[in-house]
Structure 1
């Protein structure tokens, strides 16, 4: 049976877009979702900045987001889409808004936009030289396959099973990382480590602890030797996550170049340039083979443990105090400011005794290993889903 094809305007209740203005940031208000807040089918509300209630109401007069709408980035990075699964309380900017009205239609449209068929239409209609975009008129004319609703439901149920597993894994990863951060802050920031009640404090320092500089315990941008002209993995800035240690392995490419930052398993990668640092781009390197070395963006600061352990280094890089230190050290032209690594090296650090560092390893290593396993499962699930998706959408496979 050959499916009919209809336009997005015919398929959806309406196709609109969010504001193209830039409302001022507010200390209290509602989140403003932009293109960068839609990633891998997720809407990253927690990373959006706030706007006033008045700006929120003004935007929502023409582009109110509701449950079972589909959002898609339409300027800059085009085609990142997500289904609105909960009752939203945010406004949108530079985002296409497909009003679907129910779960099946929303998921069908989402999977179509993720398919090669959908992306081919989007990328074939891009405009702009310095910044690519797709117009609202073009989006309304997207040609969408429209099989019977029962077929849409069967296909979306198959694909959603993969996405539900991915989403559950991502929730576990977030909880595990939060547990690691809580332990780090409790022991090494608040100094409520095991036995702290019985530990003497001498000149403000717990007995057995040593006041030193960060460069005494962490090596910044260490020398890492690579074989010239040999293929190696290359990690771009876009692969780093803003809230967890995992990287988007689908963005890793192969290169023979040795230019850029150089790192190995156990290193922490910290974005040194604005706004990537402020947004929280940080990663723990655990995706390489044993003894393998890789390269990455020149805008990475590589941090390697000398006297701590790799897990402590990563948690330090995520800690608010360290991040504020890095942000305050930034210099350079507006929009291209970079961290002064020397300021990080010379920052004061309280080195715990070896038995606490070893105890931290025993607690954190299982957490980090579990995160690695869950992330690998997500990667394999996405691969399986993405292989199945075009065959289902193009009627190659019947359900």
Structure 2
């Protein structure tokens, strides 16, 4: 029940303006500005890596109608990420938008309030109620303008509540920064050993720099250290595709897992995540620390930390019977940019790669004792990264539990 201290206003009343990005499809350019679409809005970040560039002329034309300003809340309007939001906090904005909604809030307080509201169970329920489309969900611009936004009647209440919620989010941001540094550090060491071939030789010196013997490999078309060989990704790892989960939907009070689709892959589970019976094949059950590789629409590799779930189609669970996780994780990451180029060249509406691309891949394979030595250095780092992400999941649960109670007046702050 709604507290008397709160009220709903429409999106167009809460904001200075509610509009959307271009509906045109400007041509891709070799140089220019990024074009951000619905699939690039992934919660607290924009995926610029997979966005293509458009000409300055198209950029300026789009921005006559749909320019993004500081403290706009951008919302994905169509596809797998429909309903995902992002706060643009930068003063300098250097991209154009297509098929996304723009809530022009006009201030930091209103932007943060709207962002947290849209990510709360209350806000998500209202967003889900206005979604249309069965195979591909979408939200119409008119629905965004009429979207109910819950706000406190008293002045200054928003600021107090935001301070409480922001304190939780700040810890999440700190953990994310720490993890970014740990991942960069781990990748630097991995590349030094297995890309630049400067792993420690028998004398503890960097192998290639110290004059270690290099041998030309006909398959790889380059030199690799003596004793190394070529291999494919399927030689070092097992890529298990998720299943069509419909036939495992619960029919009664069975124990269930939540389903990991592309949406959950990016932002974790929520109330709208589907569930399946725990009788799904064990090979598609995912636990914290498992490596997932989304191979369709959005190509990404990540360490899963969202809790036990069942893997849907379009995502691989990557494992190995012969090599440590740190090795095949960084090898797949290393190959990711190539796979993204392959998907782009396919020119499909939903770029993807196939098992054949994995078979055709070629990597340099070090001796197992060297892989084990690297794993001893990187495994503690990966464990710390997973631990930080797990803490973030718990913090997000606390935030999402507290947020609706603050917003509907069940909990008050002094």
Say yes or no: TM over 0.5: yes
3-state SS of paired residue (1:21)? coil
Aligned partner (choices 134, 140, 151) of residue 139 of structure 2: 134
Q: Which residue of 1 aligns with 2:88?
A: 84
- Separation in structure 1 between the aligned mates of residue 192 and residue 70 of structure 2, nearest angstrom: 39
Once residues 36 and 82 of structure 1 are traced to their aligned partners in structure 2, the CA distance between those partners, rounded to angstroms, is: 12
Of 247, 255, 259 in structure 1, the residue corresponding to residue 277 of structure 2 is 255
Moved more, 112-121 or 249-258: 249-258
Other structure's SS at 1:40 match:
coil
Which of 280, 283, 289 in structure 1 is aligned with 2:302?
283
Alignment of 1:203-218 (within 5 A): 203=216, 204-212=223-231, 214-218=233-237
1:195-344 residue pairs with structure 2 within 5 A? 195=201, 196=207, 197-203=210-216, 204-212=223-231, 214-221=233-240, 234-241=259-266, 248=268, 250=270, 253-258=275-280, 262=284, 268-273=291-296, 275-276=297-298, 280-284=299-303, 295-320=310-335, 324=338, 328=342, 334-335=348-349, 339-342=353-356, 344=358
* Correspondence for 1:194: 200
TM-score for both structures, normalised by structure 2: 0.79
8 A contact 2:258–2:269 mirrored in 1: no
Question: CA 1:256–1:198 in 2, change beyond 3 Å: closer, same or farther?
Answer: same
| 8 Å CA contact 2:5, 2:152 repeated in 1 | no
Q: Deviations over 1:112-171 (max 9, x none)?
A: 222333333333333445544333333223333243331110011111111222122222
Q: Deviations over 1:256-307 (max 9, x none)?
A: 343596366675433344x33xxx3223457778xxxx74234344443344
Superposition RMSD in Å? 3.4
Instruction: Calculate the TM-score normalised by the size of structure 1.
Output: 0.81
Distance 1:340 1:33, change over 3 A: closer
Task: Structure 2: give runs of 5+ residues left out of the alignment.
Answer: 202-206, 217-222, 242-247, 249-253
Q: What does residue 70 of structure 2 align with?
A: 67
Query: 1:216·1:306 contact (CA, 8 Å) conserved in 2?
Result: no
2:355 corresponds to 1:350: no
> What residue in structure 2 maps to residue 20 of structure 1?
23
Q: Give the Å deviation of 1:314.
A: 0.7
Cα pair distance change 1:89/1:329, threshold 3 Å: closer
Aligned residues: 380
Deviation at 1:111, TM superposition (A): 2.1
Q: Does residue 99 of structure 2 align to residue 94 of structure 1?
A: yes
Q: Is the 8 Å Cα contact of residues 87 and 112 (structure 2) preserved in structure 1?
A: yes
2:10 corresponds to: 7
Matching residue of 1:179:
185
